[in-house]
Amino acid sequence: MASCFGEYAVSVVDTSCASYANNGCVSPNMTPSVQNAVTSVYRITLSTAKELRAEVSWNKCQMNQGLSITFNDAAAPSFKLNTNSRLFRKLKGSRLVESNSFKIEVFWDLSLSRYQSGAEPLDGYYVLVVVDSEVGLVLGDLGAEAAERKLKEGKKIAKSSLAVRREYCSGNTLYSTKARFCDDGSEHEITIRCSGEEEWVKHPFLSIYIDKKMVIRVKRLNWNFRGNQTVFLEGLVVDLLWDVHDWFFNPFSGSAVFMFRTRSGMGSRLWLEEEEAVLQQGGDFSLLVYACRSL
């Protein structure tokens, strides 16, 4: 397996998260990188067996912060909302969207939403996507109450699942996020830590923690800049893959990629560039963290 990543890749190791001691992940003085954008791709299956893909993106920059939704790989977002602009700011409302043969309605309320440093709101909001009179997507802590109102209007509930989540971060080499690897599973805390500035030149390393337990430790990261490892979590097989090549060889414009992907068996393994295959297969989940390192 390691040969897929080149001569200096780290070999695949199957191990259990529980086999590691509870390590202190990071120094309390270290500040995590900032999340600039996050995109979640959902599969929606209607009662008629029709399927729809919804790509929900939250983004944040110095001038703008907003939400966009793209359906079925459209060239441009079907729904776009700028929550910072005074001219276009509308934090509560609904909009009718046409996408192929589907009739889609988007309902949202961000008027009470709270943010920290990231692009995605913490709470105080909801976003509903109704497809052909079925509630296909419910987002936000206020979403259940909003969906209940739609059910009283005679709407049905469609099946939906999160297939891919992509996070785009910038700053130092500490990244922290949370993920649920199956629909009925627990939420897990994920921390990715690379060498600090003082250690970077002489002893670059990579450590990955799940629920504060170390599951990967890679030394000589400048040699082992691509690799993979397998862990078992809640009875699931989870592949962890990393590619930090551009941090060393294209530092001014490149970013690192970290991927966490569930798979149904030991025989099928997909690599970073095969995300489309994950979406087509169904059942599996992928989390990708794209990390730009400040120089």
- The residues, any chain, with a CB within 8 Å of residue 93's CB and separated by 6 or more, are 107, 108
Q: Residue 275: what pLDDT?
A: 55
What is the value of pTM for the model shown? 0.83
Q: Kindly state the DSSP code that residue 123 receives in the 8-state scheme.
A: B
- Give the integer Cα–Cα distance in Å for 178 and 176: 7
Taking the C-alpha atoms of residue 245 and residue 248, their distance in angstroms, rounded to an integer, is 6
Rama region for 132: left / alpha / beta (φ>0; ψ in -120 to 50; rest): left
Token pair for residue 226?
């691509």
**Phi, psi (deg, nearest 5) at residue 172:** -85, -160
C-alpha atoms less than 13 angstroms from C-alpha of 195 in its C-beta half-sphere:
19
Which secondary structure element, helix H or strand E, spans residue 200, and what is its range?
helix 197-200
Residues 157/131, Cβ–Cβ less than 8 Å: no
CA distances from 43 to 18, 199, 280 (A): 32, 42, 10
pLDDT in tens, the chain (295 residues): 333 333 333 333 333 444 444 444 555 556 778 889 999 999 999 999 999 999 999 998 877 788 999 998 788 888 998 876 554 467 889 999 877 789 999 999 998 989 888 889 999 999 999 999 999 999 999 999 999 988 888 888 999 999 999 999 988 888 999 999 988 888 999 999 987 556 566 778 999 999 999 999 999 888 999 999 999 888 888 999 999 999 888 877 778 999 999 887 555 555 555 555 555 555 688 999 999 887 6
Q: Which two tokens stand for residue 101?
A: 């043969």
Query: Cα separations (Å) of 250 from 78, 244, 254?
Result: 35, 10, 5
Count the neighbouring beta carbons within 10 Å of the beta carbon of residue 282: 11
Q: In angstroms, what is the C-alpha Rg of the chain?
A: 20
- State which H helix or E strand residue 145 sits in: helix 143-152
E-state strands within 112-158:
126-131, 134-139, 156-157
Q: Beginning with the edge strand found earlier in the chain, give each strand of the sheet holding 134-139 in spatial order.
A: 92-99, 102-109, 126-131, 134-139, 156-157
What the block records as the tokens of 83 is: 């929550």
